Amino acid sequence: GILQHPDGTVLKQLQPPPRGPREQEFYNKVYDPDCCDSILLELRKYLPKYFGVWSPPTAPNDMYLKLEDVTRKFNKPCIMDVKIGQKSYDPYASAEKIQQQVSKYPLMEEIGFLVLGMRVYHISSDSYETQNQHYGRSLTKETVKDGISKFFHSGYCLRKDVVAASIRKIEKILEWFEGQTQLNFYASSLLFVYEGSCQATTVRLSDVTLAEKRGVPKGLLPGGDVLEYNNNIHVINSTENGKIEASVSKGLSKFYALHKKACSKRHHSQLSLKVENLEQDNVWKSSTCIAQEHLNGNVLSQLEKVFYHLPAETKESANVEVRMIDFAHVFPSSAKDEGYIYGLKNLITVLQNILDN
């Protein structure tokens, strides 16, 4: 498994030859201080940062790759590992190895990717849902869209901002693959990470007075700053629910209309619907997600209409990371990596379908 180093990096134990040395050679080549290859320099943007190899003082023969911890900046990281490509075996694999890999997921060639696992934080239950590789291998061409959409669901609603940001990140990686003919990748993955918590930011209460302004945050009024949207509804005190209910039901249509108008003028990724408790201090330092049972069905359904249908094209990137990982099967080439490109394009298509539906 992956270990954490006290300095904030992660340690991946070097695999037995030839895989381990091959992965180390790949990282050394890409992160060579003297590298002047524009293709490899561009590739660095899509990998975890590499800090060489490391061995524990008590076991100097145990070698580890020292890598950036992509999840470190997140409070409640939601993580998904997706193997990309039509083949999960390299050109030098034996007939036995090929048969073994194909039998694990016969649809790999047709679908072009395989979900190896996911860990999703659900706000509603304050817990993680975990799926392993057996979950991914159970997905068919008909069910893969719904299977992947689980990763983007907060327990309250679909995080369309995260889906849209993920698509843009993958498109950048696809552009790199379309422009290079020197490397082919097999059994390599994309690591997706996004913030699942609703407590990632603080807000000034004086900027947002939903109850007093009938559901229209100041940030959406003319001349105001556009607020951030993270698909979460925050309240200070659930006993304010009666006031919230009245405010939301009266002001929601106006809120949405103003939001659309604001979107057309200023790009933003996230818009938080926040509620002020007038008896609290000026700065809201510990926001609390409203429990589902504190909203009656009528209010919840109206709020979901806003959150589900905000136009994705108006948002800039949410707090999302998409990085390429696992390079034990990377080989020199003189042609485009068509298998990897096929997988990326098909994954983008599936995510776009999730977004559109």
Cα 102 to Cα 93: distance, rounded to the nearest angstrom: 12
Same domain, 124 and 36: no
For residue 223, name the pLDDT band (cuts at 50, 70, 90): very low
Contacts of residue 205, defined as CB under 8 A and 6 or more positions apart, other chains included, come to 276, 277, 280, 281, 282, 283, 284
- Per-residue b or e along 58-70, where b marks 16 or more CB atoms closer than 10 Å to that residue's CB: eeeeebbbbbebb
Domain boundary among 14, 44, 69: 69
Output the pLDDT for position 203: 35
Query: Are 336 and 194 found together in one domain?
Result: yes
Lowest pLDDT segment from 163-172, 179-188, 312-321, 322-331: 312-321
In one-letter notation, the amino acid at residue 171 is: E
> Does the residue 56 lie in any domain?
yes
Identify residue 226 by its one-letter amino acid code.
Answer: V
Report which of residues 238 and 136 the model is more confident about.
Answer: 136
> What is d(CA 29, CA 20) in angstroms, rounded to the nearest whole number?
14
Tell me the per-residue pLDDT of 133-162, one tens digit each, with 9 for 90 and over: 999 999 999 999 999 999 999 999 999 999
pLDDT band at 235 (very low <50, low <70, confident <90, very high): very low
88 in the same domain as 47? no
Q: Is the pLDDT of residue 66 over 80?
A: yes
The pLDDT of residue 167 is above 90: yes
In the structure, what pLDDT confidence band is assigned to residue 1 with cuts at 50, 70 and 90?
confident
Q: What is the DSSP letter of 143?
A: T
Q: Which of 69, 94, 110 is the last residue of a domain?
A: 69
Q: What is the pLDDT of residues 75-113, one digit of tens each?
A: 999 999 999 999 999 999 999 999 999 999 999 999 999
CA-to-CA dists, residue 289 to 275, 281, 308, angstroms:
11, 18, 18
> Residue 198's pLDDT band (boundaries 50, 70, 90)?
confident
Give the mean pLDDT of 47-63: 96
Q: Is residue 110 part of a domain?
A: yes
Q: Assess if residue 278 is contained within a domain.
A: no
Q: Which of 45-54, 143-152, 217-226, 340-349 has the lowest mean pLDDT?
A: 217-226
Same domain, 63 and 89: no
User: Which of these ranges, 30-39, 114-123, 185-194, 284-293, has the smallest mean pLDDT?
Assistant: 284-293
Average pLDDT over residues 205-220: 37
% of the chain surpassing 70 pLDDT: 67
Residues of the chain above pLDDT 90, percent: 66
In this prediction, residue 155 carries a pLDDT of 93
**Token digits for 250?**
């009266």
Residues 38 and 76 in one domain: no
Give the per-residue pLDDT at 12.
Answer: 98
Residue 9 domain flag: yes
- Looking at the structure, tell me whether residues 182 and 78 fall in a common domain: yes
Residues 9 and 149 in one domain: no
CATH number of domain containing 97: 3.30.470.160
| Residue 116 shares a structural domain with residue 178 | yes
26 and 124 both lie in a single domain = no
Indicate whether 212 belongs to any domain. no
Give the model's confidence band at 264: pLDDT under 50 very low, under 70 low, under 90 confident, else very high. Answer: very low
Q: Is the pLDDT of residue 126 over 80?
A: yes
Q: How many CA atoms lie within 13 A of 106 on its CB side?
A: 2
Q: Report if residue 277 sits inside a domain.
A: no
* Per-residue model confidence (pLDDT) at position 343: 98
For the chain, list the strands marked E by DSSP: 2-4, 9-13, 50-54, 64-68, 77-84, 113-122, 127-131, 183-185, 188-195, 203-204, 229-235, 271-274, 283-284, 288-289, 320-325, 330-332
Domain that holds residue 111: 70-198+318-356
Which pLDDT does position 199 carry in this prediction? 56
Pick from 22-31, 216-225, 338-347: least confident: 216-225
165 found inside a domain:
yes
In this predicted model, what pLDDT tens digit does every residue of 268-284 receive, in sequence order?
333 333 333 333 333 33
Shared-domain flag, residues 61 and 177: no
14's CB contacts (< 8 A; 6+ apart) are 20, 21, 23, 24, 53, 63, 64, 65
Alpha-carbon gap, residue 236 to 78, rounded angstroms: 25
Asked if the structure places residue 349 within a domain, the reply is yes
86 and 187 share a domain? yes
Q: Are 201 and 82 in contact (CB under 8 A)?
A: no
Cis? peptide before 222, omega within 30° of 0: no
Looking at the structure, do residues 116 and 100 belong to the same domain, yes or no? yes
Residue at which a domain ends, from 37, 69, 101 = 69
Q: Give the separation between CA 174 and CA 168, rounded to whole angstroms.
A: 10
Domain count, the chain: 2
- The H or E element spanning position 126 is none
The whole-number average pLDDT for the span 162-191 is: 98
